Each structure stands twice: as C-alpha cells, then as structure tokens.
Chains A and B, each alone.
Chain A
C-alpha cells in the first residue's frame, strides 16, 4: 500500500490550461498529487479556481512559493512569464517544476532555466503531452531501427477551436478573450508574430517528435512557409536529405485530425493523437510495412497528461531518468525557435 503523502501542487496562473488540463488530470492521480495553491494576479479568478479544487488562493508568486504546502509548481501562466517563474520556483527549493509549453521566450531563457535546474538539482519538465504519450513512448523504443531510415516527416494538426474541448474537460471560468485575431494586413512584423505564435503554441507539441527523426535538425532549410486561412501554417523544408512538412490549422467543425507520419524505405509510421484537454486515452500508432501488414500500438487508457504528471512525481522523488534531460528539452526548444524564425523569414520574403 502506498503510504507516501501526495505532493502539494501550486499553480502559477489560473487560466484555461490550469482549469481544463491540469486540475482534471490531477483528479486521475489523487494518491500522487493534491492541489494546494492557485496563484493568479486576478484574485477573483484565483479564488474561484482554488475553491473548486479545494486549494487556497494567492495573488503573487512569492506568496505561493512561500507556502510550505506547495511541494511542486506548475507554471501555467502566459509564456512571457515562464522563465522567471520557473527559476523562482527552483530558487525556492521546490521538489520539481512543470512548465507549460513553450519553455521560454528565447534560447537564452531556456539555457538559464537549464543552468539553475542543474545548479539546484531540481528537475524541470515541459508540459508536452505528446512526448509523454504512451503510444509515442512505445514507438520510441523502436526508433533505433526506424529513425535512421526516415525519408520524410509530416506533422498535420487539424483541430476544432480550443473551447470545444475545454468545455468537455471542465467548466471554464474567466475565459480570456482569444489572444490571436487575424490582422487586416500581413506586414513583416505581423507575419513574424503570427508564425511565432502558431509554432510556439501549436506546432510545439510535435516538433520534439519531429526532431527525433532529423539528426541534422540544425541544418533545417525552409523551402516554403505560408499562412493557412483562417489561421494556421503550412511549412515545407528539409534537413539532412529528409523532407519535412508541417501543417496546422483550426476549424469550426467537430472532427480532430492530429497526425504524425514518417515514411521510411519500407514502413509508414502514423501516429494519431487524441485532442488536447480531454482524457480520451492515448494516441494510436500504426506501422504499415511493404506487405501491407499493419502493426498497431495503442490505444492505452492513459494519456500524455497523466503520464507527464507521473513522470514529475517520479522525478520529484529522485528518479531523474523519468523525465527528458533539460539539455534535450533545451535542444527541442532551439528547434522550435529555429522553425519559427526560418518559417517567418521565408513567409516575410514572399511579401516583397
């Protein structure tokens, strides 16, 4: 019988990510975690969310970090605050930190997080549910064979607007206005901002997986980057002789298609992920060989959200091998920023 006391979780930010992703996920893991504190500069929002979770509320990060009931911190604030808040949690001596994607705003910030984590010995994991998806984990065990033979990689994210799944996950309170709206004119600045928002907000989920199949990812060259209507991206490029296509868009109907496809000389690997927010089980991976035989991996009843929290629990108790190293996470972030920079440069080049 597990007699270990559940870890108290402090949430930095009380928005939809905390409400619709992490609090419902913790409800799947009552033996491991308990919500302890919810911090938001909007005191009413923090109080409302905390009341539903049986936690206390505060309006400053300092107050939350000073709370002895907070063992681990989940940084779910807007991304411009991520680096400072993660580092503050590390300096406060918490047992572990989960940071929602993206890890930071810049490669320098990501390196700073890695340095403080190394210095304090406190693990930081990135809230990237696909990295922890049980189907992907199972596929990763076969990558020694598949990855060297990859010829093209395709990430295709075609999703309904977020509120559909948020509303199934929980009753969201204080939902902010949509942060991104289509501008009237695509100036270079608007184009750059749009691609960074979409890459760091949507493509970021799969880019660590894409990187796994691109040993020469630092040599990425973008051939083409276009905006998809009403908002989305379509990017094509190559690295080390392997073609890459990234497509992402949101729509107004109900079907979700979230696929990662890798073509090798003799197999087609396809991983179909479940939508964000809801606990709809894991992804399903299929590997089709030249004879037409299809090997299926998954679905598993656990999803990436549950698994990332399990990994955080293990890391908080000293199992550093339970989570990707911060060097890996920082390199993933370098790749994400590289894609965003090169794609926006390509798209801006087409404006002139």
Chain B
C-alpha cells in the first residue's frame, strides 16, 4: 500500500502549485493539516533555498522538494547535502527544464544518440532572475543529458546571455533571452549522421515537450509524457523515502554547476 506523506509549503506563492500537484497524487500525498509538521516541505528555489531547506530538515522534515532551484551559495548546497544524508532526509529538485518528464523518460535513448553528435546548441526564452540563473538552467539540462560540461566564457547583451564551453569533445554554446513569447528551451545537437532537436516547454504544465531525432532513416518523434515537472519530482521524492535511501550526489552536482557559473 502506498505510504501517504503529508506535504506543506513555506511560501504562499507556491500554494496553488502545491494544490495542483496534490490533486494528481491523492494517494501518495495529502496536505498537512497544520496540527503537526509536514513530512515533506515544498520550498521555493529563490535566493537562499539551500539554507531554508536545511532549516526544514532541522525542524523535522523527512523530505524536501525545491521548486525551480536557482543560483544560491554553493557551500550552502553542500551543507544541505551533508545534513540531509546525516538525517536520512531526501532532497529532490523540481527543475523546469532538467526535470522535464519527457526528457527524463527518454534520457537513455537521448544520451546514446548524443554520443554521435559533435555540437550542442541551446536557446532559451523566458524570464530569468539573473544571467547566472539562465546559464544554470541550460547547464543543468546538459547535465541531465549526462554531458560533461565545462563552461569557459560568458557574455551579456541587454536582454540576453551567451555561454560557451565544451561537453567532452563536443562544442557547447547556449543563448538565453528574456521574453514572454515562445517561452521554453530548445536543444539542437548536431552530428554528421544525426541531429537531435529537443523543445522543452518549461511552463510547469503537463503538456509534453517535443523531442525528435533525425538520422538517415528520417525523423523520429519520441513518445510524449503528459506529466508536470512537479508531479515527477514528487514521485521521485516519494520513491526515495520509500526506499529509505537519501542520496546527496545530485545536490553536490548542482553545487558544482553553480560554482562553475559563478567562477566565470
């Protein structure tokens, strides 16, 4: 039988988002009634999210889900990873692009095809708090696709940021532009024998992203997943708590990504 976890949010702004996801997981989660501390906390990824997550664990939370984690102090993230492991707590990241359910469903297939490409281009449109946050979104997607990314340059225009680097032997370049039309992240991976075109929605909805692989046989569209980023993250958190196996490694990778961007 599914263990039902209580969940709450520390931020009024997340309440509606929590309610929407809760409605899709009525057996796995139920809203905390406030009579006792929730077993899982849904935390905004703004500013000092790592410190707030650590505080929630200290207060007794067994699980933490971070909504759209952004740039924060890398050392605070490492502290969170250590503290979570010590306490047996699970920390799950609900990342708008890197956590895309369609992307994650096909990750193994995509990684295999990416091995035959030589260039990765990204283009992202949407609002971002800082250029570093935009760069982080793009770096995180590259890592979600198991690309060993190293950034070497960053440039800024009035409403855009461009980052450049390598992913192993591949060239990597990404551009993020602030804008409200056509929001999303697009990844074009180019190789002589195949091209991958991934259009990630990033809008938090259950509308699926569009992933396509073209090779000599033609273009193939990968099957869509009609699930929101939050729902997928909540399920991962639930499964990890069921297993009783907290893993701090994803947080440490996130901290490394933040540190790489901040070092530019």
Residues of A within 8 A of B (CB): 151-152, 154, 156, 158, 223-224, 226, 228-230, 232, 234, 236, 238, 241-243, 245, 247, 249, 251-255, 257, 261, 263-268, 270, 287-290
Contacts and interface: CB of A to CB of B under 8 A. Distances in A.
Interface in B223-239: none
Contacts of A152: 157, 159-160, 175, 177
Interface stretch (B20-28, B192-200, B240-248): B192-200
B100 interface: no
B177 A263 contact: yes
Contacts of B162: 223-224, 236, 243, 245
A243 B177 contact: yes
Interface string B137-171: 00000000000000001010111111010000001
A19 B37 CA distance: 77
29 contacts: A151-B159, A151-B179, A152-B157, A152-B177, A156-B121, A224-B153, A224-B162, A226-B171, A226-B173, A232-B190, A234-B119, A238-B155, A238-B157, A241-B157, A243-B157, A243-B175, A245-B175, A251-B192, A253-B195, A255-B195, A255-B219, A257-B197, A263-B181, A264-B181, A265-B159, A265-B179, A267-B181, A268-B181, A290-B181
Interface in B202-256: 214-216, 218-219
B123 interface: yes
Contacts of B85: none
A206 to B, nearest CB: 16
A149 to B, nearest CB: 9
Contacts of B164: 223-224, 236
Contact of A252 (B159, B160, B192): B192
B191 interface: yes
A249 B119 contact: yes
Closest CB pairs A-B (n = 3): A268-B182, A241-B158, A243-B160
Grouping DSSP codes into helix (H, G, I), strand (E, B) and loop, the A interface class, with mixed when no group exceeds half, is strand
Contacts of A290: 180-181
B195 to A, nearest CB: 6
B82 interface: no
Nearest to A265: B179
Number of chain B interface residues as a range: 35 or more
Contacts of A265: 159, 178-180
A109 B215 CA distance: 42
Contact of B214 (A154, A223, A253, A266): A253
B195 A158 contact: yes
Interface in B104-135: 118-119, 121, 123, 125
Contacts of B193: 251-253
Contacts of B159: 151-152, 241, 243, 265
A244 to B, nearest CB: 9
B216 A252 contact: yes
Nearest to A264: B179
Nearest to B182: A268
A324 B76 CA distance: 59
B178 A154 contact: no
A245 B214 CA distance: 23
B188 interface: yes
A249 B175 CA distance: 18
Contacts of A247: 119, 121, 188, 190
Contact of B190 (A238, A249, A261, A267): A249
Contacts of B119: 228-229, 234, 247, 249
Given A228-B118, A242-B157, A249-B119, A254 B180 contact: no
